[in-house]
Structure 1
């Protein structure tokens, strides 16, 4: 049963959609306008959160943590934004809630976005950041006891592709991964891209997604697994927890990714949340469903990261 808060938010979103249909066509925002709007409309970060900027050896981002966070247990966070927008600042509140719930120190990565820094910049930035997080914490150089990946939307797709790339290059993988509404199929072939498309989506709809994908791919085949993990070999990847809303266009990316990972022997948990929309976890300040989802992701991280740390200590 959806919460009262969810019902009210869905009604408000529907009113906004209908109002947009009745009004004049909206001009297509530039990429810079999208990025700026994301930061200006972001939820205010919860009081008590500590945020430290980092810029070391080509790795840029910010540490987000709490006074009682375990600096040796590290969660790397990849923001969403369609591979062309978004930033750690825009999604700082989600990173803060993940840090609080999991007890980890979160490193939110600044990675390359199209069209200015298209593929493979984002993937390369993620791989460099992985090595950094294994060897640096909020207080400086120090080995991690455990590292996990997290990502939302495009960041979830990037996290999934980065794990494949790390494995193929013989580099150290994270111990676990949590993926929230990952955009993991840039070819966008799933049925949910049709049945869950909102009427009158305009520049936020299919055409906008295609443009974003092209700006990021820079000529790469959209079905290449280095960009679209649903087409990749998942053998040897760490345990994954994937959450997605049943009402979102990216739903089938999560289902396909989970099915493929399970077929390749990966320990994967998939949750499809009824009536929920894209990246609903980011609405935890408003929705009990969002906070519940974060708590479940955090519980998964605690189990797998503690087990990995204990194994490494032997």
Structure 2
């Protein structure tokens, strides 16, 4: 049963941050505010590492396997978000999947526009391969913009003729930078934060004037069936209240129609990247546990979590 009061409390925390921003609020201040919204706790170890010039961190829950890697790409509209804001979520995922997580601090807009984030992620992939990780030992995971980036990374690897990771886990995936999904209308009254004008503004900030929002490496939803057919097993999780609900549902549907293994879970009453609030929301704990089992099954690791709250 959904604890609506707790969900509304989480929403109020997020809205307080957004509501404090004004036209003259600097990007640096926005990033600091966002990081402070998600304090990290727990006993996971954190090891900074530079991967082909890209700052990263190994996040390892006790007992997690070092021969498996979950490459994590954080959300934040390609403008905010960091390894600090997502450390707790990465630690929870490491514990649930029984594998280390490699968080990637890819470059952000507006200082670094598309395709800088994609270039950084591909560089990290090459670094992992050069350091002995086989594709079957690597998963990609991410939330929101980071989930879209994970999908773009797989499409880019496929374009290069490279092997793909074993599995992908995508939360509240932003797959369509044109914001054409029907949920921008059907969920507009239910989503407390993200509306189409905001989404389109973030897309412009990321792409710049010359960027093409319909290109598959910017909007993975635009990929052809031939591009989708070869993708690895994918699990999408999305809140039923989200305006970006269609981004996950439509991508998973197109991927299945193309012959890929894609499952989409729409969680009733949940908001954008609800998994970032495991201390408050039992649905977040359930979702992470389920994702951990999914990742472990495809990586050959041992999941450490059950799906009960």
TM over 0.5: yes
SS in 2 for 1:117: coil
Query: 1:302, CA displacement in angstroms?
Result: 1.1
Say which of 214, 226, 245 aligns to 1:251. 245
1:214 partnered with 2:211: no
How many residues of Structure 1 are paired with residues of Structure 2 in the alignment? 294
Match of 1:12 in 2: 9
Q: 1:247, 1:111 → 2: CA distance?
A: 28
Match of 1:34 in 2: 30
Does 235-244 or 51-60 show the bigger shift?
A: 51-60
Stretches (4+) displaced over 4 A: 13-20, 198-202
Match of 2:257 in 1: 263
Q: 1:179, 1:88 → 2: CA distance?
A: 17
Residues 143 and 222 of structure 1: CA distance in aligned 2, closer, same or farther (over 3 Å): closer
SS in 1 for 2:229: coil
Match of 2:82 in 1: 87
Query: 1:205, CA displacement in angstroms?
Result: 3.7
1:123 partnered with 2:114: no
C-alpha distance after superposition, 1:216-272 (max 9, x if no partner): 112222111111111113120100000001101110000110011101111111101
Query: 1:9, CA displacement in angstroms?
Result: 2.2
CA RMSD, Structure 1 to Structure 2 (Å): 2.4
Instruction: In structure 1, list runs of 5 or more residues that go unmatched.
Output: 137-141, 308-314
> Is the 1:76–1:133 contact (alpha carbons within 8 Å) kept by the matching residues of 2?
no
Say which of 223, 231, 255 aligns to 1:232. 223
Match of 1:65 in 2: 60
Give the alignment's TM-score, normalised by structure 1.
0.87
Residues 112 and 192 of structure 1: CA distance in aligned 2, closer, same or farther (over 3 Å): same
Q: 1:112, 1:19 → 2: CA distance?
A: 26
Q: 1:176, 1:132 → 2: CA distance?
A: 18
SS in 1 for 2:95: helix
> Is the 2:141–2:150 contact (alpha carbons within 8 Å) kept by the matching residues of 1?
yes
Query: 1:198, CA displacement in angstroms?
Result: 4.6
SS in 2 for 1:130: helix
Residues 205 and 74 of structure 1: CA distance in aligned 2, closer, same or farther (over 3 Å): same
Match of 1:178 in 2: 169
Give the alignment's TM-score, normalised by structure 2.
0.88
Q: 1:210, 1:115 → 2: CA distance?
A: 14
Query: 1:13, CA displacement in angstroms?
Result: 5.4
Instruction: In structure 2, list runs of 5 or more residues that go unmatched.
Output: 302-309
